């Protein structure tokens, strides 16, 4: 498979330093797939060639391959690497494996064949623990018990599943020689790793085994930032229980004037069906699923969901059902992220910047969400001259018959074949784009205008919410309805502050370092300093101060940091 980074480089030809940076950043999701893998016996990866016309593959094709890999995988709590692999390989060839820490050492092991998993499970015993009763639910989450004489695996072998602390990131960025490099370096440090993506698909596959007790033909797919290309290590795992394979299946044509159908229970609405399915599966996850704790049934939300923690992976999970628009949004974001590498770099940077300054939060509230923020970045990139990415209406115009998608009356059609999309030649650097992003939103007419990626142009606001971002598919909805005026003001103030900081000669160039001292934060690193928050909250007061005083206090804060 031609890697997508090769394609990205084609687009980036002539973009100098950014092109060099790109060589160091591998493209999300596709990394290493189909390479380094011991040839699987009998079961090879199925690739849909139509999905791969110009080297890039649709999200559906990537997901199908990942799901198939996950079904050949097991998750094992274990102690000794050598012994584990020796033991497991008696059941068949191992394609890939890695270790990580979460409530003890775990290994994800992908076999070449499904039969190996079956053979392994055949050998596993139901543990007997004195004074404790166990639910005898068998799954691919296992423990390999060690005898006292075996050593633990070398900790260095464990792959980290969380990001480096922000202070370390700031230090790392401070040593980079350009803002472009800082942006790519931040993305490298924060993006989901190959291992973390595998673990996400494996958790979906383990949950599917539970849901399959009721719906044997269902699938559980990840969506949102786990797969849209913008996920940061540690982000939640959004999943959807997909029953379309069951409901969408047509029976055989009538024979002798007769056709056979299932008798089904009736419900009041689609929503009621979703609620009852999630309620029953929630009960099952809560009572039977090993490793799943803190199950909450949030069934009265606009989009009913189950929320729980999956301890062996460390993921916070949200499971929804019948949420096809969210899948389409995920595919759209993925497509935009694959069109031009600057999209992902900018989204990662803006998301990280917003998080350190409390513009976004993991707790629901009046904050701007990562999804809204991503749409704001996409809109900004559509507004460049020439635009870096096309409008959603243009992507709809390019769609073929197979792309047609109408969900609950909403037209969600857009092209999936990358080779049909012609990009315009915009050569702006990441540094320029970052500065311009802050300027753009520092002066955006939020009080009157709505952000609209379908048209790629601001539109008059149809309602009085402080921030109006049109939902790309359910166009009568505002995805940032929750945001209140004070949160929007904070965002605008931070954009002004950040834009100003990037223009200051003191912060826009590398500061160098003196012997034995850490590098002084500059450029993007300076923008991520938490002292900025205080800077914004004190903004009104500081407006009255002469600019020399402002500058002096800023430099002081940089020195002390």
Contact residues for ligand GTP, defined by CB under 6 A:
223-225, 228, 231, 235-236, 238, 325-326, 329-330, 369-371, 471, 474, 479
CA 473 – CA 120 distance, rounded (Å): 45
101: contact with Mg ion by CB under 5 A: no
Q: For ligand GTP, which is the closer residue by CB, 222 or 390?
A: 222
Tell me the residue length of the chain: 561
- Contact range with Mg ion by CB under 5 A, out of 27-35, 236-244, 282-290, 320-328: 236-244
Q: For Mg ion, which is the closer residue by CB, 225 or 471?
A: 225
* Residue least distant from ligand GTP (Cβ): 224
Q: For ligand GTP, which is the closer residue by CB, 391 or 478?
A: 478
- Contact range with Mg ion by CB under 5 A, out of 6-14, 233-241, 401-409, 418-426: 233-241
Q: For Mg ion, which is the closer residue by CB, 174 or 329?
A: 329
For the chain, the C-alpha Rg in angstroms (whole number) is: 25
CB of 344 to Mg ion, least distance (A): 16
CB of 516 to ligand GTP, least distance (A): 38
Q: How many CB atoms lie within 10 A of CB 86?
A: 10
Candidates 92, 224, 304, 521; binder of Mg ion (CB under 5 A) is: 224
Strands of the sheet containing 305-310, edge to edge, are 219-223, 237-242, 315-321, 305-310, 292-298
Residue 119's Cβ-side half-sphere holds a number of Cα atoms within 13 Å equal to 13
Contacted entry of ligand GTP, Mg ion, none for residue 285, CB cut-off 5 to 8 Å set by kind:
none
Three-class SS string for 111-126?
Answer: ECCHHHHHHHHHHCCC
225: contact with Mg ion by CB under 5 A: yes
CA 493 – CA 535 distance, rounded (Å): 10
CB of 378 to ligand GTP, least distance (A): 12
Helix (H, G, I), strand (E, B) or coil at 497: helix
CB 409 within 8 A of CB 326: no
Q: For ligand GTP, which is the closer residue by CB, 174 or 369?
A: 369
CB 466 within 8 A of CB 483: yes
For residue 241, the Cα-to-chain-centroid distance in whole angstroms is 18
Q: For ligand GTP, which is the closer residue by CB, 235 or 285?
A: 235
CB of 371 to ligand GTP, least distance (A): 4
CB 372 within 8 A of CB 445: no
Q: For Mg ion, which is the closer residue by CB, 237 or 536?
A: 237
- Contact letters for Mg ion, residues 16-45 (x by CB under 5 A): ------------------------------
CB of 474 to ligand GTP, least distance (A): 6
Contacted entry of Mg ion, ligand GTP, none for residue 371, CB cut-off 5 to 8 Å set by kind:
ligand GTP
Candidates 236, 403, 436, 458; binder of Mg ion (CB under 5 A) is: 236
- Contact range with Mg ion by CB under 5 A, out of 223-231, 309-317, 474-482, 520-528: 223-231
341: contact with Mg ion by CB under 5 A: no
Helix (H, G, I), strand (E, B) or coil at 485: helix
Q: For ligand GTP, which is the closer residue by CB, 74 or 235?
A: 235
Phi, psi of 552 (to 5 degrees): -60, -45
CB of 459 to ligand GTP, least distance (A): 18
Contacted entry of ligand GTP, Mg ion, none for residue 506, CB cut-off 5 to 8 Å set by kind:
none
Q: For Mg ion, which is the closer residue by CB, 8 or 295?
A: 295
CA 117 – CA 32 distance, rounded (Å): 23
CA 155 – CA 439 distance, rounded (Å): 45
Contacted entry of Mg ion, ligand GTP, none for residue 4, CB cut-off 5 to 8 Å set by kind:
none
CB of 10 to Mg ion, least distance (A): 31
Q: What H or E segment, with its residue span, contains residue 551? A: helix 547-560
Using CB under 5 A, count the residues that bind Mg ion.
4
Phi, psi of 475 (to 5 degrees): -65, -15
CB of 240 to Mg ion, least distance (A): 12
Q: For ligand GTP, which is the closer residue by CB, 292 or 305?
A: 305
CB of 471 to ligand GTP, least distance (A): 5
Supply the DSSP string of 385-432, one letter for each residue.
SS-SS--HHHHHHT--GGG--EETTEE------GGG-PPP-----HHH
Distance of CA 469 to CAs 68, 282, 373, 437, Å? 36, 33, 10, 16
Which residue, among 247, 206, 201, has the nearest Cα to 62 in the 3D structure? 201
CB of 417 to Mg ion, least distance (A): 27
Candidates 71, 176, 195, 238; binder of Mg ion (CB under 5 A) is: 238
Which residue, among 187, 180, 182, has the nearest Cα to 172 in the 3D structure? 182
CB 311 within 8 A of CB 77: no
What residue ranges bind Mg ion (CB under 5 A)? Answer: 224-225, 236, 238
């Amino acid at each position: 498979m031609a890697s997508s980074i090769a394609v990205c480089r084609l687009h980036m030809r002539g973009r100098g330093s950014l092109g060099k940076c790109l060589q160091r950043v591998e493209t999300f999701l596709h990394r290493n797939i189909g390479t380094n893998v011991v040839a699987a016996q009998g079961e090879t990866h199925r690739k849909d060639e139509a999905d791969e016309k110009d080297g890039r593959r649709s999200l559906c094709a990537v997901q199908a391959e990942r799901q198939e890999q996950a079904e050949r995988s097991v998750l094992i709590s274990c102690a000794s690497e050598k012994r584990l692999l020796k033991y497991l390989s008696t059941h068949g060839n191992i394609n890939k494996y890695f270790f990580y820490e979460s409530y003890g050492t775990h290994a994800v092991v992908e076999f070449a064949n499904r039969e190996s998993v079956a053979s392994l499970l055949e050998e596993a015993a139901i543990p007997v623990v004195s004074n404790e009763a166990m639910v005898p639910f068998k799954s691919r989450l296992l423990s390999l018990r060690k005898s006292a004489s075996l050593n633990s695996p070398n900790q260095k072998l464990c792959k980290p599943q969380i990001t480096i602390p922000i202070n370390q990131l700031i230090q790392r960025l401070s040593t980079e020689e350009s803002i472009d490099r800082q942006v790519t370096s931040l993305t490298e440090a924060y993006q989901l790793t190959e291992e973390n993506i595998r673990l996400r698909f494996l958790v979906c596959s383990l949950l599917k085994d539970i849901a399959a007790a009721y719906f044997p033909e269902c699938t559980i797919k990840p969506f949102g930032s786990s797969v849209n290309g913008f996920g940061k290590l540690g982000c939640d795992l959004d999943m959807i229980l997909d029953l379309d394979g069951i409901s969408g299946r047509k029976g055989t044509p009538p024979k002798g004037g007769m056709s056979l159908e299932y008798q089904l229970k009736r419900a009041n609405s689609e929503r009621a069906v979703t609620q009852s399915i999630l309620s029953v599966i929630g009960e099952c996850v809560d009572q039977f699923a090993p490793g799943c704790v803190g199950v909450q049934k949030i069934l009265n939300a606009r989009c009913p969901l189950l929320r729980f923690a999956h301890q062996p992976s460390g993921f916070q999970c949200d499971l929804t059902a019948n949420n096809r628009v969210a899948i389409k949004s995920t595919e759209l974001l993925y497509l935009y992220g694959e069109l031009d590498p600057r999209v992902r770099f900018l989204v990662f940077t803006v998301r990280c910047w917003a998080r350190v300054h409390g513009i976004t939060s993991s707790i629901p509230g009046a904050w701007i969400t990562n999804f809204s923020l991503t749409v704001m970045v996409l809109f900004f990139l559509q507004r460049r001259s020439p635009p870096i990415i096309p409008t959603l209406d243009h992507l709809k115009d390019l769609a073929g018959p197979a792309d047609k998608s109408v969900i609950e009356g909403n037209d969600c059609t857009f092209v999936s074949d990358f080779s049909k999309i012609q990009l315009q030649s915009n050569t702006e650097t990441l540094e320029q784009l970052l500065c311009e992003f802050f300027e753009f939103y520092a002066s955006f007419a939020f009080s009157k205008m709505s952000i609209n990626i379908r048209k790629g142009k601001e539109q008059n606001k149809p309602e009085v919410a402080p921030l109006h971002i049109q939902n790309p598919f359910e166009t009568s909805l505002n995805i940032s309805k929750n945001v209140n005026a004070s949160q929007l003001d904070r965002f605008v103030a931070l954009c002004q502050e950040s834009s100003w900081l990037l223009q200051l000669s003191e912060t826009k160039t590398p500061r160098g370092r003196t012997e034995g001292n850490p590098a002084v934060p500059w450029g993007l690193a300076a923008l991520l300093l938490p002292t900025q928050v205080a800077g914004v909250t004190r903004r009104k007061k500081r407006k009255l101060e002469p600019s020399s005083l402002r500058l002096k206090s800023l430099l002081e804060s940089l020195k002390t940091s």
